[in-house]
Structure 1
Amino acid sequence: MIIENLLVSFGAEIKNYREEDVIFREKELPMYYYQIKKGKIKLNNYTEEGKEFIQNIFSEGHSFGESLLFVDRPYPMNAVVLEDSAIYRMSKQNFLNLIRNNPEVSLNIYECLAERMYYKYIMLYNLSFQNPVTKLKLLMDYLKSYQDHKKPYSFQIPLTRQQMASLTGLCVETVIRTIKQMEKDQIVKIERRKIYY
């Protein structure tokens, strides 16, 4: 999102995290801009019963949590490392100075935030469906829409079955059964446990 030289020139530093490390927790105040150099993180919450709800998954080149640097409110989610990661971290004040002094970066931030709002609308709409095939197909359509893979079975779904369950509000057993049914209906293809759409 923001080129690395610019990040470093405004005081960003690389922090290394291990799988399952928590970068920030729900109810903490936002203090930093985060951008992934390598690795993968998830934004999540837990229900009162302890069930995980994944809001989003980000990988190399993505930033996360930056929208909350513009308001004085605590994080409404956790950021948890999914695999060993190197992440640029920059103080809130330095981030705000960077975007004030670089209008093209501001525009990129606005585009990114608009894209994330679109994703939230799609996923919120997805929660209204009862049919698990519809829920999973909507998620897969969204993921595939950002790829050049337009042919059937040309796009490998980059999520585990558990992650798909957590993103759609389904239980993992339902996702497994539904994916098998979708394969029978020739909606997806499964090769070596990988799902192709």
Structure 2
Amino acid sequence: MVEEKTLRAYGAVEKYLAKGETLFLEGEMPVFYYQVLSGAMKMNNYNEKGNETIQAIFQPGQSFGEPAILGGFPFPANAEAIEDTRLICLEKNRFIEMLRAQPAICIELLRVISRRLQFKAMIAKEIGGHEAEHRILTLLHYLKAKAEAKGEFRIDITRQTIASLVGLRTETVIRAIKEMKKKGAIKVHNRKMYL
């Protein structure tokens, strides 16, 4: 989202996380702005039974955690590396300074946060009123549109991640995917899904 050279000009530093390593926990106050350089991060919560809900996944070029900085509230979720990940981190006061000095970055940040809100509204609607296949297809179409993919699109998230994103059990997702494959709604080759 923000060019790496711009972040470095404001004093940003790199941080490396191994797959499975936690960056911050739900309830902690933000100290840094984070942007993914390589790898991937997820923001998640666990209920009292230990079941995970994935709030979002962040790929290279994407930032996360900014609403907590801008709103002055604790992180609403944990952040965990889902593969070996390299981040660029900018101290929150320097981040605010950068936003004040660079209105174009503010506008882009508003666009990004607005798209996240759109995704949350879509997921809330899907979880509340639709069957498993519909929920999954809506998510897959959203991911394809977000990637601006033309033609066949490979889904690079696990069935467990899909389940966590749309409020289903992994077993339900597996059954629904088999059914969607039979109906021709998706293709599956070597355990990879295509839309």
TM-score range, shorter chain: over 0.9
1:70 aligns with 70
Count matched residues.
Answer: 195
2:141 aligns with 141
1:120 aligns with 120
SS at match of 1:16: strand
> Is the contact made by 1:129 and 1:135 (CA closer than 8 Å) also made in structure 2?
no
1:10 aligns with 10
Q: Match for 1:67: what amino acid?
A: P
Return the alpha-carbon distance in structure 1 between the equivalents of residues 83 and 150 of structure 2: 29
Task: Give the TM-score of the pair, scaled to structure 2.
Answer: 0.97
Return the alpha-carbon distance in structure 2 between the equivalents of residues 105 and 128 of structure 1: 35
Q: Percentage identity across aligned positions? A: 36
1:180 aligns with 178
Deviations 1:111-143 (A, max 9, x none): 111111111111111111341011101111111
Structure-2 change in CA distance of 1:130 and 1:104 (3 Å): closer
1:158-173 equivalences in 2 (<5 Å):
158-173=156-171
Structure-2 change in CA distance of 1:2 and 1:148 (3 Å): closer
SS at match of 1:145: helix
- 1:48 equivalent in alignment to 2:15: no
When the two chains are superposed, the root-mean-square deviation of aligned CA atoms in Å is 1.0
Structure-2 change in CA distance of 1:4 and 1:46 (3 Å): same
Structure-2 change in CA distance of 1:6 and 1:149 (3 Å): closer
Following superposition, the deviation at residue 31 of structure 1 comes to 1.0
Deviations 1:130-157 (A, max 9, x none): 4101110111111111244344xx0111
2:111 aligns with 111
1:27-38 equivalences in 2 (<5 Å):
27-38=27-38
Q: Match for 2:28: what amino acid?
A: E
1:26 aligns with 26
SS at match of 1:34: strand
SS at match of 1:195: strand
1:82 aligns with 82
Return the alpha-carbon distance in structure 2 between the equivalents of residues 174 and 157 of structure 1: 18
2:155 aligns with 157
SS at match of 2:39: strand
Deviations 1:55-81 (A, max 9, x none): 111110000011111122111100000
SS at match of 1:28: coil
Deviations 1:70-113 (A, max 9, x none): 12211110000001111001111000000100111111111111
2:131 aligns with 131
Structure-2 change in CA distance of 1:12 and 1:142 (3 Å): same
Task: Give the TM-score of the pair, scaled to structure 1.
Answer: 0.96
Return the alpha-carbon distance in structure 2 between the equivalents of residues 59 and 144 of structure 1: 14
Unaligned runs of 5+ in 2: none
